[in-house]
Structure 1
Amino acid sequence: MTLFFDCALISIYAPLIGFLTTYFLRSHKNVACFVSNFFMGCALLSSFLLAFHFESAYSVYSFNLFDWIYIGRFSIKWDIRLDILSLIMILVINVISFLVHIYSIEYMKHDENQGKFLAQLSFFTMTMLVLVSSSNLVQLFFGWEGVGLASFLLIGFWSYKDSANLASIKAFVMNRIGDAGFIIALALIYDRFRIFDFSSLQTLLTFSHLQVSSLHNYTDINIVCVGIIIAVMAKSVQIGLHTWLSDAMEGPTPVSALLHAATMVTAGVFLLIRLNYLFIDASGIQTFLTWLGMLTSIFAGLIATRQNDIKKIIAFSTCSQLGLMVSACGLGAYQTALYHLVIHAFFKALLFLSAGSVIHSMSGDQDIRNMGGLWKKIPYTHAMMLIGVLSIIGTPFITSGYYSKEELLKAFYLSKHSYLFFAFFLSIALTTIYNVRMLYSVFYGESRTFGKVAAHIHEPSLFMIVPMMILAFLSLVLGKATHSFFTTGSLWGYSISYFKEQSHSKIFVYALLSKILVAIVIGSYVYLSKNPNLFESMKKHSMVLKLKNILENQFYVDKLYQTIFIKPLVNLSFWFANHCDKSIDWWGPELTTRISEGLGHKNSKLETRKIGAYLCGLLVVFCMLVLSYFLLMNNFTSKG
C-alpha cells in the first residue's frame, strides 16, 4: 500500500514540483525543458504503475493528505480519491500532457519565455489532476478554478498581442458564469445534506432513490442539477456559453492541444459523470441535457464548415464532439460518454499537434486558403493529420473513433427521442464535411504558397514528430483495445451508479448507413472540387450567400451579446459616471472640503495678532474649567 500511495502522490503532484522548479529556472531554457519533462515523465510512469497495481473496478481508495478546512464540526479534508474513473482520467491527462511537453521543446524553442511556458503547462496539468482525483466537491471546485486560472495564463501567454489578452479575459469572464452555477449547487448540497464527500453523497442519494424517496426534496435536486449544467455549459463550451473557445486559439498550439484534449473543456463532462447519481430522478433535466448537447454538436459543426483558420476548425470540432458526450450523459449512457472522451482526447491532441506542425512549416500562417499541396513537402505531418481526420469521422474498423461513435449510435438509437437519432446522423455528416474540407485544402489540390514561405516549408524535428506518431498509433488501436472494457457494466464498479446497457439489435444496419453517409459526403466534396464551375455557381446562389455570412459570423452570437449585455452595461456605466459619481463627489469629498474651508476662514478671523487678547482668552477658558470642576465636585459630595 505504501508503494501504491507513493505512485498516487507522484502521478498527481509531480507536475506541481515541475511547475515550481521550472518557474525558478525559467531563464535557463535548456534546463527548464529538461526539468519540466523529467517531472512529467515521473508522473506518467507513476500513473502506469498505479494502473498496474489497481486491484479491481470495485476498488475505491482514499488517501488523506491533510485537514484542509476545519471550523467546529465542519471539516473538509484534502484527499486523493482513486477509483476506476479517476484512474482513467489520470492516465489520459498524464499521457497527453507528457507528449505535449515533449512537443513544446521544439515548437517553442525560439520563444524567449519557453521556460515560463513549460512551467505554466505543468501547472495546467497539475490543476486538472487535482480536479479528477478530488474526494469532495470543494476540493474539486479548487481544481476547477485552478484550471480556469491556468487557461487564462496560457491563452494570454503572448501578452504582446492585444487579441491574446482579450481572448484570455473573455475565457476568464465566461467561465465565471459557470462558476456561479457551481457555487449555487454547492450551497444547496450543503444546505440539504451537510456533506460534500462523493462517497457519502453517492450512498445517500442512491439509497434515497432505491428505498426512501422522501428523504430529499426533488426540487432542490433539480436546482442543484441546473447549477451543475450551467457550470458544464461554460467549461465544456455548450451552446450559449461557447463564445470564448474560438478566441482561445490565440494561445500557442500546444496549449490548444492540452486544453481541448485532456484538460479544461473535458472537466465539464467529467463533472457530469462523477455526479451522475444526482440526475437519476431528474428526468426533465436529463432531457434538457440531451438536447442541449445535440444542438451544440450541430451548431458547432455548422460553424466549422465555414472557418478558414485551421485551429478554429479543430476548435469547433471539439465543441461538436463535447456536445455528443453531454448528450450521451443526458441519456444516462455515462460509460459511452467517457469512452468517447478518452478516444477523442487522443485524436484531438493529434489533430492539434499536426496543425501546429503545419503552422510551424508555414511560418505562422493559419489560413487554409493559403495552403494546398503540402502532402509532398511534409509527408509525415500529412500522414498524422490523415489518421486524425479518419478517426474523428469514424472510419470503420481501422480507427478508434469508429468504436466510440458506434457506441454513441447505439445510445441515441435506443433512446426514447426519435429525432435525436437523425440529429446524430446530421452531426456525423457535418463532422465529415469540415474535416475533409480542412484536409483537402491543406494537403491536396494546387499549392497556394509562394515566396519565402514556400521555401521555408519543411518537416519538424523528432521532438514534434514522435509525439504525433504515438498519438496516431493510439488513435488507431485504442478504440478496439478498450472496447469491451468501456461497454461492460460489470467493470465499472461504484464509479457510475446509473449504467445504461446497450442492445445490439438492429444497430448494424444503422451503423452501416452512417458509414455510407460519410462516404457520400466525401465523394460529393471530391466531385465538387473536381468541377469548380458547378461549385462556384452553387456558392453564388443567394440562399447560399446568406447562410455563408451567418456561419462565418458564428450565428452572430457574439454580436447579440454585445447588443444585449455589453453595450447596455457600458452605457449604464457612463450614465453613473456622469450623474451618480458627480452627485457623490459633490455631497461627499467636495462638500467636506467646502465646510472645512469655511470653518477655516471663520477661525482665521479670530487671529487678532494681539498678545494681550490671546492671554485674556486663555484666562477666561482656564477660569471656566476651574469653575466646572468645583461645581461637579460639589454635586458628587451632596449626593454622597
Structure 2
Amino acid sequence: MYLLIVALPLVGTLVTGLGGRWIGRQGANIFSTACVIISCLFSLIAFFEVGFCGVPCYLSVSPWISSGALKISWGFLFDSLTVTMLVVITLISSLVHLYSIQYMEHDPHCPRFMSFLEIFTFFMILLVTADNFVQMFLGWEGVGLASYLLINFWYTRLCANQAAIKALIVNRVGDLGLSLGIFSIFFLFGSVDYEFVFSSASLYVDYTIYFLGLSINFLTLIGFFLLIGAIGKSAQLGLHTWLPDAMEGPTPVSALIHAATMVTAGVFLIVRCSPLINLSSNVLFLITIVGSSTAFFASIVGVFQNDIKRVIAYSTCSQLGYMTFVCGLSYYNVGMFHLVNHAFFKALLFLSAGSVIHALSNEQDMRRMGSLLNNLPITYAAMLIGSLSLAGFPFLTGFYSKDLIIEITQISYYSNLQINFGIFSCWLANISVFFTSFYTFRLLFLTFIKNNNNYRKHIENIHESPALILIPLILLGVASIFIGYLTKDLFVGIGTNFWSNAISILPTSCSLLEVEFMSYFLKWLPFILSILGGFSAYVINIGWLKNNIRFAYLHTFRRIAFFLNKKAYWDKLYNFLIVSYLMKFGYAVSFKNIDRGFIELLGPYGISRTIKSWSIKIVQIQTGQVTHYAFFVVSGLCLLLLLIPVWSFLEVFLDIRLFSFCFVALFVA
C-alpha cells in the first residue's frame, strides 16, 4: 500500500503522457484522476496507521548508488510528518485534477496537461517520502522541472516562456544552496541518510572549519545552505520574484503550486531538518528575519496589485513567510499546522479565482470586474470563505493557525527570550495582518460587490461554472471551515504526541501553554487589526471615500503606490545588477569568442574549412610538368639532409621507431 502511494501517480503520468493519443481526452482525464484519488485514499489509511496508531513505516527497496564510502539506497520513510504532507498533496491534487477536467475541456492538449499535473504530484510525493537527502533532492529537482512544464504549458505565449524560464533559473540558485548543503552533510557525517545524520548531529556542535582566516561552525554552514534552498523553493524575500510570474500557467497549476506542492517544499525541508537547524542559533535567527520580512513585504505589495491571481500569489508569499519565521522560533509543529490549513483555503481561493476568470472570458483584472454576487453565488460563497480564512476570521481554518503564530511572536517578545528573536517578527507579523485583511477584502469588493466595469458582451455571457468546477470548491469550502478546528488538538494541542520524533523542538521556557494564558488584548489584537483592514478596504473601495480620492493624487502617495505596484523594483534591480552583465558576458565572451571562435575553429566546421583551403592550394601545385615535379623532389631531399642533425638529437630522447611512425603517418595523411 505504501509503495502504491508513490507508484500510482507515476503510472498515471506515463500512461496519460505516452498513451494520450490512443486513450483520448476522456480516457486521460479518467485514468489520471483515478490514479491520484486512489493514492489519496491510501494516504488517508497511512495517516491513520502512522499518525493515530503511532506506527511509522520504513521501506528499503533496493541499492541505488555505491561508490566508496557513499552508499545510497532507494528507501521510503513514512512518519507522522510524511503522512501529513501526503494527505495534503494527494487530496489537493485530486480536487485539482477533478477541477481541470472541466476547466481545460476546450484545450487541445488536455492529456499532456493531465500528465504534467500527475508528474508534479509524483515528484512531490517522492520528495516528502525520501529517507535520505539525495533521493529528496531528486524529488526537489523534479518539482522544479514539473513547474517549468506547467507554467510554460501554453508555450506559444512569450510571457509564459519568460515566466517559466525565470522560475527555473531563480530556483537554480536555491538548488545550488541545497546541493552544497548535501555535500557538506556527506563531508561531515559520511552519510546522507536522515536517520544517521539527525541522530549524530549533536556530536558535531563544536566542529569548526577555517576559511580565509575565519572560524566557521560547520553545522551553521550546513544550516545556511539548507536555508538558501528553502528560500528559493518557498519564494522567500530575495528569491521570491518567480512566484507572482508563475501565474502565467493555467489556474489549476497555480492552485497546485501554491497549495500543496513546490512552495511548501522549502518549509518541509526546514521542518524535516529541524534536528540540524536547532543546533545553530544563528541559522534560527536568519530564518526568523527572512520569514518575517517576507510576510511584511508580500502583504504590502499585494495591496497595490490588480490582477486577481497575482494578489492571491502575494498572499501565498506572505503566508509562507509566517510558516518560515515560526520555524525560526523553533515551533515547527505550528509551522506545519499552518501549512496544512493554508493548503485548503489557498487552493479554494485559486480555484474560485479560476471560476471567476472562466465566467468572465479570461478576464483577470479586478478593476474590470464587479457585481458578480448575483451571477456567481456559489463562487462568491467559496471566495468569501477562503478570504475570511486567509484574513484570520474567528473559527475558520486560518484563524486557528495564523493567530497562534502571532500569539507566539507576542509571547516571545514580552518574555524577552533572546534565543527566540521574537521582537522583529512580532512587529512585522502584526502589521502584515492589517495589510492581509485589506487586500483580501479589496479583492472581494472589486470582484463581487462594486459596480461592474466590464464589456457588455462579457457581462451578458456571465454564468455560474459547471458542476465539476463547483464540487471541488464546495469540498474545499467545507475544509476551510472545519479543518483547523478538527486538527488543532492533534497537531499543536497541549500534550499531543502526534509528531513524535519526526520534529525536534527546542525546550524553550515559552510553551504553547503560556499562549493560552496571554492577556485578552494580545489575543484579540490580530482580530482587531483584521477588522481595521477590512473596514479600510470597504471605506476606500465602496464606502464614502470611493468618490473622494484626493489623497490618491498626492505626490508622495502616488510614488509609493507606483513603487509597490512595480514590486519594489526587485526585477529591475536584478536585471540591472546581474542579468544585464551576464547577458553581455555571454554574448561577448561565451558566444563570440569561445563558441563561435575557439570551439568552432577547432571543431568540424573549422577543420573542414582548413582542409578545403589546403586542397585548393595543393591542386594549384599539380601543373603536370616534369620539371616542376623534379624541383619538388630535389627540394624535399635537400630538406631531409638538413634535418639529419636534428634527427640525431631527437634520437637521444625519443624512440626512433615511434618517431618514424608518426613522421610517415603525417605525410601519408
Query: Larger deviation: 302-311 or 501-510?
Result: 501-510
2:110 to 98, 114, 121: 114
Q: Is residue 552 from structure 1 mapped to residue 565 from structure 2 by the alignment?
A: yes
Q: How far apart, in 1, do the equivalents of 2:19 and 2:594 lie?
A: 50
Indicate the residue corresponding to 2:621 in structure 1. 605
Query: 1:249-288 maps to which residues of 2 (within 5 A)?
Result: 249-288=247-286
Q: CA deviation at 1:448?
A: 1.5
Equivalent in the alignment of 1:318: 316
Q: Secondary structure at the match of 1:17?
A: helix
1:193 matches 2:200 = no
1:214 to partner: Cα distance:
4.4
1:156 is aligned to 2:152: yes
**Taking structure 1 as reference, are residues 49 and 534 closer, same or farther at Cα in structure 2, changes over 3 Å only?**
same
| Corresponding residue for residue 438 of structure 2 | 433
Residue 4 of structure 1 is matched in structure 2 by none
Amino acid of the structure 2 residue aligned with 1:90 = L
Task: Give yes or no for contact 1:371–1:448 (8 Å, CA) kept in 2.
Answer: yes
Q: What residue number does 1:570 align with?
A: 583
Q: 1:599 to 1:551 in 2, by over 3 A?
A: same
The aligned runs of 1:479-490 (5 Å cut-off) are: 479-488=484-493, 490=497
State the secondary structure of the residue aligned to 1:64: strand
Match of 2:544 among 507, 523, 531: 531
d(CA) in 1 for partners of 2:253, 2:332: 27
> What SS is found at the alignment partner of 1:196?
coil
For residues 30 and 548 of structure 1, the distance between their equivalents in structure 2, rounded to whole angstroms, comes to 47
- CA shift digits 1:142-164 (9 cap, x unpaired): 00000000000000000111111
Distance in 2, matches of 1:562 and 1:612, equals 66
Question: What secondary structure does 1:352 align onto?
Answer: helix
How many angstroms apart in 1 are the aligned matches of 2:522 and 2:132? 41
1:184 to 167, 174, 180: 180
Partner Cα distance (1:612, 1:155) in 2: 71
SS, match of residue 374 in structure 1: coil
- What does residue range 62-77 of structure 1 map to in structure 2 within 5 Å? 62-77=58-73
- Counterpart CA distance in 2 for 1:338 and 1:433 is 25
Instruction: Tell me how far apart the structure 1 counterparts of residues 595 and 114 of structure 2 sit (CA, whole Å).
Output: 45
Shift of 1:73: 4.5
Q: Deviations over 1:47-82 (max 9, x none)?
A: 122223337575432101221112244321111100
Corresponding residue number in structure 2 for 1:513: 525
Task: Tell whether 2:40 aligns with 1:35.
Answer: no
The residue that corresponds to 1:407 in the other structure is: 404
Greater mean deviation of Cα atoms: 51-60 or 263-272:
51-60
Give the direction of change, closer, same or farther, for the CA distance of 1:57–1:140 in structure 2 (3 Å limit): farther
* Structure 1 unaligned blocks of 5 or more: 1-6
Query: Which deviates the most, 528-537 or 349-358?
Result: 528-537
CA contact (8 A) 2:36 2:90 kept: yes
**Contact 1:25–1:31 at 8 Å: present in 2 too?**
no
CA distance in 2, matches of 1:392, 1:533: 25
- In the aligned structure 2, how far is the partner of 1:55 from the partner of 1:564? 49
Match of 1:136 in 2: 132
Where does residue 93 of structure 1 map in the other structure? 89
Question: What does 1:350-429 correspond to in 2, within 5 Å?
Answer: 350-397=348-395, 399-415=396-412, 416=417, 417-429=422-434
Report the counterpart of residue 462 of structure 1 in structure 2. Answer: 467
Cα distance in 2 for residues equivalent to 1:587 and 1:98: 55
Residue pairs, 1:445-460, within 5 angstroms: 445-460=450-465
2:662 matched residue in structure 1? none
Does the 8 A contact of 1:106 with 1:464 survive in 2?
A: yes
Secondary structure in 2 matching 1:490: coil
Q: By how many angstroms is 1:278 displaced?
A: 1.2
Q: Which residue of 2 aligns with 1:19?
A: 13
Instruction: For 2:290 and 2:137, locate their aligned partners in 1 and report how far apart those are by CA, in whole Å.
Output: 23
TM-score (norm 2): 0.87
Contact 2:442 2:538 in 1 (8 A): no
Could you tell me which amino acid in structure 2 is paired with residue 516 of structure 1? I
Residue 261 of structure 1: how far off its partner (Å): 0.1
- Are the structure 2 counterparts of residues 612 and 469 from structure 1 closer, same or farther at C-alpha, using a change threshold of 3 Å? closer
Shift of 1:598: 6.0
State the distance in 1 between where 2:56 and 2:378 align: 43
The alpha carbon displacement at 1:505 in A equals 2.6
| SS state at 1:373 partner | coil
Deviations along 1:103-151, one digit per CA (max 9) or x if unpaired, are: 0010000001111100110000000000000000000000000000000
Partner of 1:496: 503
**Structure 2: how far apart are the matches of 1:580 and 1:8?**
51
- Cα distance in structure 1, aligned partners of 2:425 and 2:625: 95
- Percent identity over the alignment? 34
- Checking the alignment, whether the CA contact within 8 Å between 2:438 and 2:536 is kept in structure 1 is no
Aligned pair in 2 of structure 1 residues 568, 198: CA closer, same or farther (>3 Å)? same
Report the 3-state secondary structure (helix = DSSP H, G, I; strand = E; otherwise coil) of the residue aligned with 2:549: helix
Does the C-alpha gap of structure 1 residues 582 and 520 become closer, same or farther in structure 2, counting only changes over 3 Å?
A: closer
Count of residue pairs the alignment pairs up? 615
Q: Does the 8 Å contact 2:49/2:55 carry over to 1?
A: no
Rounded to whole Å, the distance in 1 between the matches of 2:93 and 2:578 is: 37
- 1:220-279 residue CA offsets vs partner (Å, 9 max, x unmatched): 111111111111111000111111111110000000000000000000000000001111
Question: Structure 1 length normalisation: TM-score?
Answer: 0.90
SS of equivalent residue, structure 2 residue 523: helix
The match for 2:334 among 333, 336, 345 is: 336
Distance in 2 between residues matched to 1:586 and 1:517, nearest whole Å: 64
Q: Is the 8 A contact 2:51 2:498 kept in 1?
A: no
How many angstroms apart in 2 are the aligned matches of 1:603 and 1:390?
86
Unaligned segments of structure 2, at least 5 residues: 210-215, 645-650, 658-669
Name 1:8's counterpart in structure 2.
Answer: 2
Aligned to 2:220: 222
Letter in 2 for 1:487: V
Q: Is the 8 A contact 1:57 1:84 kept in 2?
A: no
Cα separation, 1, equivalents of 2:149 and 2:315: 23
Say if 2:207 and 2:218, in contact at 8 Å, map to a contact too: no
CA distance in 2, matches of 1:295, 1:11: 37
- Any conservation in 2 of the 1:148–1:175 contact (CA below 8 Å)? yes
Give the aligned partner of residue 78 of structure 1.
74
CA distance in structure 2 between the aligned counterparts of 1:431 and 1:612, rounded to whole angstroms: 92
Between 1:91-100 and 1:218-227, the stretch displaced more is 218-227
Q: Distance in 2 between matches of 1:419 and 1:230?
A: 20
